[in-house]
Amino acid sequence: MIDGKLQMIYKFVNGDTVYYKKYRKETLYNIILESYDTMKVNNMIVETMKPTLLVAQLFNGSLSKEKRKQVIQSMEKHHKNVRKDKKKMKNLNNYRV
């Protein structure tokens, strides 16, 4: 947080003291609260996950079973296609439910 505003982490990447690290399937935590907020973790102020995000809704029980099934099937299809053709770069806008 700088001047009371959260900053995008990529702005701090300098390749020396702050750098990208390949994800190696370590445990990753996303905190989902009833409303979006910030919290202090390891002396850093970080965001909680917005409960309105689709991925949050998959875990917080706010989707019906049928809608949850549709979302998961769509994501699986998307990732299957990405694995088939790694040259195609897709983003969350490619998910269709």
Q: How many residues does the chain have?
A: 97
Which pLDDT belongs to residue 35? 92
Where do the domains of the chain lie? 1-62, 63-97
What average pLDDT does the segment 62-67 reach?
91
Which pLDDT belongs to residue 97? 47
Q: What does the alpha-carbon distance between residue 97 and residue 93 come to, in Å, rounded to a whole number?
A: 11
Which one has a higher pLDDT value, 80 or 65? 65
Which one has a higher pLDDT value, 1 or 21? 21
Which pLDDT belongs to residue 86? 61
Which one has a higher pLDDT value, 61 or 95? 61
Structure tokens at 33: 């609260």
Query: Is 70 exceeded by the pLDDT of residue 2?
Result: yes
